[in-house]
Amino acid sequence: MKIKIGSILLLIVMTTALFTGCSGKETLSVQLLKGGEVLMIASEDAETKLSTVKSENGNLLFKSVSVSENKGLFYNSYTVNVITNAAEDTAGYELLVTMPGKIAQVKDGTADGNTVTFKIENLKQESDFAAYSDSNNTSTVVIILCVLAAVGGGFIFIMKRKQG
pLDDT at 22 over 70: no
Same domain, 88 and 151: no
Assign residue 142 a region: left if phi > 0, alpha if psi is -120 to 50, beta otherwise?
alpha
Angstrom CA distances, 143 to 15, 138, 139, 154, stand at: 10, 9, 6, 16
| Residue 6, pLDDT score | 65
Same domain, 8 and 54: no
Mean pLDDT of the chain: 84
Domain interval for residue 17: 2-21+140-163
Same domain, 40 and 94: yes
The 10s digit of each residue's pLDDT in 88-140 is 877 789 999 999 989 999 999 999 999 999 999 888 889 999 999 998 877 77
Same domain, 33 and 92: yes
| Residue 56, pLDDT score | 81
The 10s digit of each residue's pLDDT in 127-144 is 999 999 998 877 777 787
| Residue 23, pLDDT score | 47
pLDDT (mean) for 37-59: 90
Cβ atoms of 47 and 67 within 8 Å: the answer is yes
Per-residue confidence at 148, pLDDT binned at 50, 70, 90? confident
Same domain, 92 and 146: no
pLDDT (mean) for 63-91: 89
**Rounded Cα–Cα distance for residues 57 and 87 (Å):** 8
Cβ atoms of 18 and 72 within 8 Å: the answer is no
Tally the domains of the chain. Answer: 2
| Residue 97, pLDDT score | 96
Same domain, 121 and 47: yes
pTM: 0.72
Cβ atoms of 9 and 141 within 8 Å: the answer is no
**Rounded Cα–Cα distance for residues 55 and 90 (Å):** 10
Same domain, 87 and 42: yes
Same domain, 40 and 116: yes
Which amino acid belongs to residue 139?
A: S
pLDDT at 7 over 80: no
Same domain, 9 and 77: no
Same domain, 36 and 64: yes
Same domain, 124 and 64: yes
| Residue 158, pLDDT score | 82
**Rounded Cα–Cα distance for residues 61 and 47 (Å):** 13
In what helix (H) or strand (E) does residue 3 lie, and over which residues does it extend? Answer: helix 2-20
Cβ atoms of 127 and 84 within 8 Å: the answer is yes
